[in-house]
Structure 1
Amino acid sequence: MTITENERDAVYKTIFSRRDVRREFKSTPIPKTVLERMLLAAHHAPSVGFMQPWDFILVSDQDTKAKIKQGFLQAHAEAAELFQGDRQEKYKTLKLEGIEEAPLGICVTCDRERTGPVVLGRTAKPEMDLFSSVCAIQNLWLAARAENIGLGWVSILHDQVLRDLLKIPDNIEIIAYLCIGYVEAFQDTPDLEKAGWLSRRPVESVIHHGVWQEKTIGE
C-alpha cells in the first residue's frame, strides 16, 4: 500500500499538532463509532512478539472520576514538595490534569503474562511489553488528534488509587490514565513550553552519528 503525498502530509500535521491536553475539555460525549475507531487504532500498535499486552478500561462515572481526582491532588501535593523556591511556586500554578472535566477517562494496562512466560523479542529486554503498551497509547493519541479530540496523560497519580477504584488485578501493570474529550481549541504551543517550564530542544541536539557524542543545546 502506497501512501500518497497528501496522506503523508496529514500524518505529519497530526504529529506536530498533537498536544497533552489538560484544559478546555467540552462535555460533549464522544460518539461510539469514533471511540471504536480510536481504540482500534490503539489496538493496531506494534507489540513485542505480537503479544498485544494492553487493555483499556473506560471510565465515565463522575463519582469514580472524582475519587481519581482526589488521588491526583494527593500525589500533586507530594510532588510539589520535591521542587524548591521559584520552581515550586511555578509548579503549583500549572494545570496538569482534566480528570473531572473530560467526559471520558481511559486507564491503559499491560498484561505481562498474556502469551506465557517466554515472549519472542522480550528475552533480552523484558520491559519490551511495557514499551509496546506505550506504543498503543501513542496510536490512541494520534488517532484522537486526527478526530479533533483532545487527550491528556495524567502521570501524577499513584497506581494503587487506580488499582483499588478500577479493580485491577495485582498481576496487571498500570501504564497510564488518560483524559479524553472534545476541546474548545488546540493550543499552538505545548502548555509547559507556554508556561515557561521548559522549551523544546533543537532536534540537532539529540541526533548522534555513529557513536554517542556529548552535546549542549546550541551546538
Structure 2
Amino acid sequence: MEMTKATGFDESERNAVYRAIRERRDVRRGFLPEPIPNELLHRLLEAAHNAPSVGLMQPWRFIVVRELAVRQKVHQIFLDANKQALASYEGEKQQSYAGMKLEGILEAPQNLCIVCDSQSSQGHQLGRRTMPETAIYSAVCAIQNLWLAARAEGIGVGWVSILEPTLLREALKIPGHITPVAYLCLGYVDAFATDPDLERAGWETRTPLKSVLSLDEYDSRWDQGRPAS
C-alpha cells in the first residue's frame, strides 16, 4: 500500500485551510446569475465524495437540481414551512424572524440535495452496529467538505433546512428508505459577509471555545440552557 510521509502542510497551505474554515458563510442573498461551470461543480462534488465515512460506506447521494419548475416546487415547500415557523414566535422575535432572508432557492443558479442511504450494504456494517446514526454523520462530513471547497472557489452555499421532509421527498422523488440531509443553494455571489447573517441580525451570538470545552468528563453547567461561561 502506497503511503506518504506524515508531514504537515507549509504555512501558506495551512493558512488557506484555516481561512476557508473561518470565512465559510451560510449564504442566502447576493447570488449572481452566472451558472457554475460543470468542471467546478465536479470539483466540489469530488471534495464532498472524499469525506470520511464510517466503514467506508460512503452513504451520500447527490441530487443536482437545475430545473426551474422543480426549484419552484421546493420554494413553495419552504414558503409553507416558513409561515408555520414564523407563527411559532411572538413579539420581537417574530418581527426579527420575519425580517430575515433564509433561502436562495430561486436566486441561486444551482441547487443540490444531499441524501443518505443509511441501509447501504457498502461498508458491511462496520462501525454502525452500535451507532447506526453515524451514516448520517458521514453525509454531514461530505456537506462540510463541499462547503469549505466552495468557499475556496468563491462559491456561496446556503443550507435550507426550513423544508417539510415528506414534501421534499415527493418533489425530488426520494424513496422512503433514503434520508434527505441537506438542501443547498449554490452559486457565485457578489460578496461574502464578514460575520454570520444570524449574528449580524442579532438573532444569536457565538459562544467562545472555552465555554464548550471540558476535561475528562461532561460539564454539568452545560445543562443550564447555555454552554458554561
Is TM (by shorter chain) over 0.5?
Answer: yes
Q: Which range moves more in the overlay, 126-135 or 81-90?
A: 81-90
1:189 aligns with 2:226: no
Report matched runs for 1:28-67 at 5 Å: 28-67=34-73
1:78 aligns with 2:84: yes
Distance, in Å, in 2 between the alignment partners of 1:5 and 1:21 is 28
Runs of 4+ in 1 over 3 A off after TM superposition: 215-219
1:217 to 1:161, Cα distance in 2 relative to 1, 3 A: closer
Q: Which amino acid is 1:68 matched to?
A: V
Aligned-pair CA distance for 1:89: 1.2
Match of 2:31?
25
CA contact (8 A) 1:99 1:105 kept: yes
CA contact (8 A) 2:58 2:122 kept: no
Distance, in Å, in 2 between the alignment partners of 1:116 and 1:20 is 32
CA contact (8 A) 2:57 2:123 kept: no
Gaps of 5+ in 1: none
Q: Which amino acid is 2:110 matched to?
A: L
From 160, 171, 174, the counterpart of 1:165: 171
CA contact (8 A) 1:202 1:217 kept: no
- Partner-residue secondary structure (3-state), 1:29: coil
Aligned-pair CA distance for 1:217: 6.3
Report matched runs for 1:96-107 at 5 Å: 96-107=102-113
- Partner-residue secondary structure (3-state), 2:143: helix
Gaps of 5+ in 2: none
Root-mean-square deviation over aligned CA pairs: 1.5
TM-score normalised over the length of structure 2: 0.92
Instruction: State the identity as a percent.
Output: 51
Q: Which amino acid is 1:82 matched to?
A: S
